[in-house]
């Protein structure tokens, strides 16, 4: 506005806009970009040094030096997504599931390509959820998606997690309760990150996978409840058991949508994801995506298809597993050194304590980009609390755990957790970063009256 102009009349926002909060991830990414000297344990950026620059140079050269192919890559494609890419994704999924393509139970037309897997999560939420409808998610959960669900007007009902992932007994109890009260008619979606969850790094255990699907089937009486499996981190496995997807139990392709991304195992810059889903859901997602953008970037789809076809995707994912495994090890070792009691840190979650009165523990993860750290209840990790500012002043930034929780009946969320993401932190910065951070924590602990230790959940 020009100087001296009057305060403008307000725009008349939609209910959706009023429900939409500023995304904490946008703030954190912007913050980290503004202050590149911070040890950035916050935003979920990926490792910059291992990005497949050479591979993408070679792939784009190959695509664009062939005029016909280059023209296809620079033209519009379909809303569903590049045919060749969807076929490559299908083969890739068969290889992940260790099963022939014919036995997957779905074909290339049940795979929808989106602008990152986030767009698929958004679209699926939007076509199932009316304001007031219910979604079940873990506590804690991927906060960008629970924020999205809230902007859609969903009532997100949270069930606890333990070291084996989402508590499926708690899901069963909640379903029974919703069934008794009749609210089950408003339950549209169960959201579960099945591998190396954001923010805890924990994986749903083998026995819970078919059980979760059976529960969804059992309570799908008047309508189908959709199980939304977020498999973004599946390919970043460093050790521990190899799990099948929940989707692999859904042999008739009716109840589960499973979303994957190229951002984590390849490169975020091409902003592509793909989701396998029931046929009727795919149809509705495509109609909706037609209104959003009528198809993701052709060029990026050609790049992704070529990376899968020429083997560079698989090679790169293997490189990344090495890169992140090392960083994960460095994070766990540093946590043990600066917060541990001398235990070996094995088991997840670890229950190392600096002293009996102040339980500090963290998840011992087998993949993904995150470790979840629990501090004593007296330490407020929230963005407006004393720790966050002190940590930033000391040169370290993290994601406050508060974002990842649904409030309890009194509107409270736990404020003594935080997410450590080692995605974009240089290996040499990890121990110094944790050291600085632990000094800030210890200083605060020294100032804080010491409450009796209590269980604080995840």
Within residues 173-192, the interface with its own copies by CB under 8 A covers: 185, 188
Residues 40, 44, 46, 49, Cα dihedral to 10°: -10
- Measured from the CB atom, the residue of 76 and 384 that comes closer to its own copies is 76
On whether the CB atoms of residues 372 and 419 are closer than 8 A, the answer is yes
Q: Give, as ranges, the residues between 79 and 98 that touch its own copies (CB under 8 A).
A: 79
Q: Which residues pair with 362 in a beta bridge?
A: 373
Please report, for residues 117, 282, 296, the alpha-carbon distance to residue 114 in angstroms, rounded to integers and kept in the order given. Answer: 6, 12, 6
Would you count residue 363 as binding its own copies (CB under 8 A)?
no
| 251 touching its own copies, by CB under 8 A | yes
Q: Under a CB-based contact definition with an 8 Å cutoff, are residues 111 and 81 in contact? A: yes
Which one-letter DSSP state was computed for residue 358? Answer: B
Identify residues 5-44 at the interface with its own copies (CB under 8 A). 5, 8-17, 20-23, 25-26, 29-30, 33, 43-44
Q: Is 222 in the site for its own copies (CB under 8 A)?
A: yes
Mask 312-341, x = binds its own copies (CB under 8 A)? ------------------------------
Q: Is there binding between residue 103 and its own copies (CB under 8 A)?
A: no
Alpha-carbon distance values, 193 to 140, 211, 223, 413 (Å): 11, 15, 23, 20
**99 binds its own copies, rule: CB under 8 A:** no
From residue 86, give the alpha-carbon distance in Å to each of 52, 131, 275. 21, 33, 10
- Name the pairing type of β-strands 155-162 and 134-139: parallel
Specify the DSSP class assigned to residue 355. Answer: B
Q: How far is the CB of 440 from its own copies (least distance, A)?
A: 27
Site for its own copies in 257-296 (CB under 8 A): 263, 267-271, 278-281, 284, 286-288, 290-296
Q: Sign of the C-alpha dihedral, residues 404, 121, 105, 254?
A: positive
61, 218, 315, 337: which one binds its own copies (CB under 8 A)? 61
Residue 385 lies near its own copies (rule: CB under 8 A): no
Count of residues touching its own copies (by CB under 8 A): 103
242 part of the interface to its own copies, by CB under 8 A: no
Please say which residue, 303 or 332, places its beta carbon nearer to its own copies: 303
Q: Does 245 bind its own copies (CB under 8 A)?
A: no
């Amino acid at each position: 506005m020009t100087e001296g102009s009057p305060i403008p009349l307000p725009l008349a926002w939609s209910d959706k806009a009023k429900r939409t909060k500023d995304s904490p991830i946008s703030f954190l990414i912007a913050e980290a970009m503004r202050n590149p000297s911070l040890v950035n344990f916050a935003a979920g950026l990926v490792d910059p040094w291992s990005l497949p620059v050479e591979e993408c140079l070679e792939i784009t050269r190959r695509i664009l030096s062939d005029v016909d192919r280059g023209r296809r890559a620079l033209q519009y494609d379909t809303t569903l997504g590049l045919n060749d890419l969807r076929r490559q994704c299908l083969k890739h999924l068969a290889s992940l599931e260790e099963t022939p393509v014919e036995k997957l139970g779905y074909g290339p037309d049940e795979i929808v390509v989106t602008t990152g897997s986030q767009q698929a999560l958004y679209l699926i939420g939007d076509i199932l959820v009316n304001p007031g409808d219910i979604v079940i998610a873990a506590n804690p959960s991927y906060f960008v998606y629970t924020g999205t669900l809230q902007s859609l007007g969903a009532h997100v009902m949270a069930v606890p997690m333990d070291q084996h992932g989402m508590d499926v007994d708690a899901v069963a109890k909640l379903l029974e309760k919703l069934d008794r009260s009749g609210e089950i008619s408003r339950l549209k979606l169960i959201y579960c990150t099945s591998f190396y969850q954001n923010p805890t790094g924990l994986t749903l255990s083998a026995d819970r996978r078919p059980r979760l699907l059976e529960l969804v089937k059992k309570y799908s009486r008047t309508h189908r409840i959709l199980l939304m499996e977020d498999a973004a981190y599946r390919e970043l496995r460093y050790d521990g058991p190899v799990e099948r997807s929940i989707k692999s139990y859904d042999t008739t392709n009716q109840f589960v949508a499973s979303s994957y991304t190229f951002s984590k195992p390849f490169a975020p810059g091409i902003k592509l994801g793909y989701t396998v889903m029931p046929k009727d859901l795919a149809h509705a997602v495509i109609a909706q995506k037609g209104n959003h953008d009528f198809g993701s970037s052709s060029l990026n789809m050609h790049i992704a298809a070529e990376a899968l076809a020429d083997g560079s995707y698989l090679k790169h994912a293997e490189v990344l597993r090495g890169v992140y495994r090392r960083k994960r090890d460095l994070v766990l070792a540093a946590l043990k050194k600066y917060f541990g009691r001398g235990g070996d840190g094995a088991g997840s979650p670890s229950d190392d304590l600096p002293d009996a009165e102040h339980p500090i523990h963290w998840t011992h993860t087998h993949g993904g980009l995150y470790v979840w750290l629990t501090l004593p209840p007296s330490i407020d990790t929230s963005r407006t609390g004393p720790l966050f500012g002190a940590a930033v002043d000391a040169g370290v930034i993290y994601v406050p755990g508060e974002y990842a929780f649904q409030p309890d009946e009194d509107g409270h969320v736990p404020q003594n957790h935080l997410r450590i993401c080692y995605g974009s932190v240089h290996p040499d910065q990890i121990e110094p970063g944790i050291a600085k951070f632990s000094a800030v924590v210890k200083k605060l602990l020294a100032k804080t009256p010491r409450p009796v230790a209590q269980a604080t959940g995840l």
